[in-house]
Structures are given as C-alpha cells and as structure tokens.
Amino acid sequence: MNAIRQFVEVKNHTFTIVLPDDFDASSVEVIILPKQQNKIELSDETKIVLDSRLNDYMQNPDEVKDFDLLLDELEQKL
C-alpha cells in the first residue's frame, strides 16, 4: 500500500494534492484532519535535565556515542 502524508494550506475551503508520477492508483481514500499544533508542556525538572544534557554536549561534542552503537551495547548487557 502506498501512503502519502502531506501538510497543505487550505484556502477558501479548498486544497490541492499533487500525486507523484509513480502513484498509479485509480481511486484513493482521503482522510482530512486538522493539523495539530505541537505544544508540549515540559515540567521544570525535565527542562533542567534537557538543559544539562545540551550543555554537556556543547562542551564536549566529540564525546557522544552513535545511537545504534549505544543500543547494541545496551542489548549486550541484557
């Protein structure tokens, strides 16, 4: 199944979706949802942790691990 997700602007209650050249379906199902505004509230404690981690990275950008390697190491410890 080919699925296409696009965010498009609505003008005068209409919008246009241009399909890729290789999309060859003769009919489609359209589901319209309003775009959600991503407003995520973080606790003060979470903000402090994130700020600390960002500061650590900014001071030592070469001391980070590749995420996939980190996952491999964690799996080996299980």
Q: What is the pLDDT of residue 40?
A: 83
Whether residue 15 contacts residue 9, with contact meaning beta carbons closer than 8 Å, is answered with yes
pLDDT band (50, 70, 90) for residue 72:
very high
Give CA–CA dist 8/66, Å, rounded: 35
Degrees, nearest 5: CA angle 25-29-34: 135
In the chain, where are the structural domains located? 44-77
Each residue's pLDDT tens digit, 19-71: 889 888 999 999 999 988 777 889 999 999 999 999 998 898 888 888 898 89
Q: What is the pLDDT of residue 52?
A: 94
**pTM summary value:** 0.41
pLDDT higher than threshold 90 for residue 2:
no
